[in-house]
Structure 1
Amino acid sequence: MLNILRAAGLAVLFATAPAFAQEETLRPEIPADAEIRTVIAKAVDDFIRPGYRDFHAAADMLASEMDALCTTPSPDALVQAKAAFAEAVRSWARVEIVRTGPAIEDNRFERILFYPDRKSTGLKQVQALLAKPDNSITAPGGLSGKSVAMQGFGALEFVLAGTGSELLATETDSFRCRYGQAVARNIEQIAGELVTLWEAPDGVQQAWRDPGPDNPLFRTEQEAMTALLGILVHGAEMVRDQRIETFYRGEDSQTFPKQAIFWRSGNTWTMVEANLKSLRDLIEASGMVALLPDDQTSIIGSTDFVLTSMLRVTGEMNSDIEVAISDDAQRQKLDFLLVNGRDLIGRLNDQYGGAIGLTSGFSFSDGD
């Protein structure tokens, strides 16, 4: 009976989603180079660069709130630090999908967020450090050369929300707080580096804007557009594979609530929501619809419909992951996110990519 009810509930959830199989047959039409350059320029100027600037501002605020907490600890200061952490996490999630360029150089991506950490390597290192403090780590530049798992949001989450974190509200100049300060400043520094590198007019932004035989990244406009679409496809895969399937793979599968990102601080869905919004915003900001043949522009509309539906359900999820995986109504919503996550990948990779001639013999999803 439970399975029957469950199936009925899912049917209601899925009823409004456009059917992937009902889309019209694709007729690839290669966009003009000038059209692709316009889309790439909009993606850089209206999504990537503003995204990194916003992340830097949020990281700077986080560092300031950690300073305040360590200087004058109080319950309110701890609340403010946690709120700044959530905002910085949200801001990072909005640009996290740009897993290319400066973000993946010098281990910046992992230093900001080491995840998934299936063997709890980072947790063990942070716990060991808090049990046996090393004051050199809290000095300026002290985290340089240390494990990436000790440098970013995962470490700071345990500082602010892990076992013993309540003492941050009462202990002045504690090692735990000073370590949290160092991590926050480290995140802010990396965010600043990303802004500087993307703002340089003759740097990575120029490589994206101006494909050519001497370009270190892209020889042709098609290569640049492939990379941009790859950001979207791999971003959609990240939501499904790393944000949800890490702890929930379906009704009959074992669940792992403590593998969910930021489960301690209740920010799992903060990340998922911001990741999904980033996909929607990149599609809109870049004007990708302009590259589609006139009779296939509905691909963008249906993709937006799926993203909007997923965002609606994400907003209905319980921040307590233990509850989310044990409550039947919540599990139905998780199933909805998994099914629509797969659909989203297909719409981007197969439908959009196919319509502009990018998926013939190529699969973003397989990484070929």
Structure 2
Amino acid sequence: MRKILAAGLIALFPAAFAHSVQAQEADPTPAVELPEAVVTKVMTAAVDGYIRPGYDALQKSAEDMAATMKTLCDAPSKANYDAAKTGFGKLAATWAHIEIVRTGPIIEQNRFERILFYPDRKSTGLKQVQAVLAKSDETATDPKTLATKSVATQGLGALEYLLFGTGSDTLSSGNDFRCRYSAAVVQNVGSVAAEVAGIWDAPDGIQKAWEEPGPDNPVFRTGGEAVTGLLGILVHGAEAVRDQRIETFYKGVDKAKFPKQALFWRSENTWPMVKANLDGLSGLLVTSGMVELLPEKDRPVVAAAEAQFKAMAKLTTEITPDLEKAVADEGERKNLDTLLADGKDVISKLNDGYGGAIGLSSGFSFADGD
């Protein structure tokens, strides 16, 4: 996976929003002066039109799923179990839509990992969840004590195994411990979402820091830094789709293939997650109005990137959810290869096309490597 060169700027803001040393070293300030009023408009649209609603939606989805789990635990049945499995897909997709924003409070205090611990190449999470089940560890059924345990036991990865893994069918007939553990995981995800939403909603915190760049701003001293940070979300989000969602299990026809390392392969939510990621990237690009910062001659790059995100999202709906078949079948592999190629291309459109258009130096890159 690509090395993250500008992580200090777009992914590692500490709680106090101390200015990033790495950002200074990378010198990501665009060479052209961006209009202050338009920068403020774009950053405000990104925060108020996409980021804050995204965390609100995640909190609401977790609350809905908590109610679904309560119904299942109180009255085990096939219908209620099926409702829980459907609810998982909805919750996971809602997370995937805002997951692309890998900056700010979500990456502090292990909040991101508490919602989703992935990649997990050594199956650490699986082993730990299985150990909790084997011991019937009651502390895992209390959201407060669950929150103190390994991040691998308290997020969506754990929930997927509980609802879809070995022994999960017992939930329909009444597996009290497994159900209560699942419910605690859902409540934990909801608590993290509520906490992050609250931080973004505070008018004098990160919300203000993002919407009002300036010399006394501890996060963004200039509008150029702010827009570069926003662009970085898109670049790294697109990289994550390619590197973490797809290349984790498929890197090409001549490379080793690991379908069971794909995210949520048990529940067949691998492609819905990828689609939600891509929809999120397209949504942030459009909602923020980033195109307004470009000269007319350069604006087509935004439309091209948006179109590519949408085409990739559509393609995910055409690939079989059976990942073992997907990596073995020649026709399916062509679709996977297309996603990888398009992923690389859209990263270039954003990093080089948009970045160059706003005046980032030719030597500046959000990523290094293939």
Same fold (TM over 0.5): yes
Shift of the alpha carbon at 1:215? Answer: 1.9
Alignment match of 1:308 (pick from 296, 307, 310): 310
Q: Any residues of structure 2 matched to 1:42-61 within 5 Å, and which?
A: 42-61=45-64
Q: Any residues of structure 2 matched to 1:270-349 within 5 Å, and which?
A: 270-349=272-351
Q: Distance in 2 between matches of 1:145 and 1:179?
A: 14
Answer yes or no: is 1:104 the counterpart of 2:98.
no
Q: Aligned to 2:145, what secondary structure does the other structure show?
A: coil
Residue in 1 that maps onto 2:19: none
Q: Distance in 2 between matches of 1:156 and 1:102?
A: 23
Shift of the alpha carbon at 1:30? Answer: 3.9
Q: Distance in 2 between matches of 1:315 and 1:192?
A: 31
Shift of the alpha carbon at 1:217? Answer: 1.3
Which residue type is aligned with residue 182 of structure 1? A
Shift of the alpha carbon at 1:199? Answer: 0.9
Alignment match of 2:163 (pick from 160, 163, 173): 160
2:143·2:185 contact (CA, 8 Å) conserved in 1? no
Q: Aligned to 2:320, what secondary structure does the other structure show?
A: coil
Q: Distance in 2 between matches of 1:303 and 1:50?
A: 23
Q: Aligned to 1:142, what secondary structure does the other structure show?
A: helix
Alignment match of 2:80 (pick from 61, 77, 81): 77
Q: Distance in 1 between matches of 2:31 and 2:337?
A: 33
Q: Distance in 2 between matches of 1:85 and 1:51?
A: 17
Alignment match of 1:243 (pick from 242, 245, 248): 245
Residue in 2 that maps onto 1:222: 224
1:248·1:256 contact (CA, 8 Å) conserved in 2? yes
Answer yes or no: is 1:115 the counterpart of 2:118.
yes
1:349·1:359 contact (CA, 8 Å) conserved in 2? no
2:132·2:140 contact (CA, 8 Å) conserved in 1? no
Alignment match of 2:91 (pick from 85, 88, 91): 88
Alignment match of 2:235 (pick from 233, 236, 252): 233
Residue in 1 that maps onto 2:132: 129
Which residue type is aligned with residue 295 of structure 2? P
Answer yes or no: is 1:177 the counterpart of 2:179.
yes
Shift of the alpha carbon at 1:300? Answer: 1.0
2:143·2:188 contact (CA, 8 Å) conserved in 1? no
Q: CA RMSD in A?
A: 1.4
Residue in 1 that maps onto 2:18: none
Percent of aligned pairs sharing the same letter:
55
Q: Any residues of structure 2 matched to 1:195-210 within 5 Å, and which?
A: 195-210=197-212
TM-score normalized by the length of structure 1: 0.90
Q: Distance in 2 between matches of 1:193 and 1:359?
A: 37
Q: Aligned to 1:194, what secondary structure does the other structure show?
A: helix
2:50·2:283 contact (CA, 8 Å) conserved in 1? yes
Q: Distance in 1 between matches of 2:336 and 2:349?
A: 20
Q: Aligned to 2:144, what secondary structure does the other structure show?
A: coil
Which residue type is aligned with residue 118 of structure 1? R
Residue in 2 that maps onto 1:10: none
Q: Distance in 1 between matches of 2:367 and 2:144?
A: 38
Residue in 2 that maps onto 1:40: 43
TM-score normalized by the length of structure 2: 0.89
Which residue type is aligned with residue 129 of structure 2? V
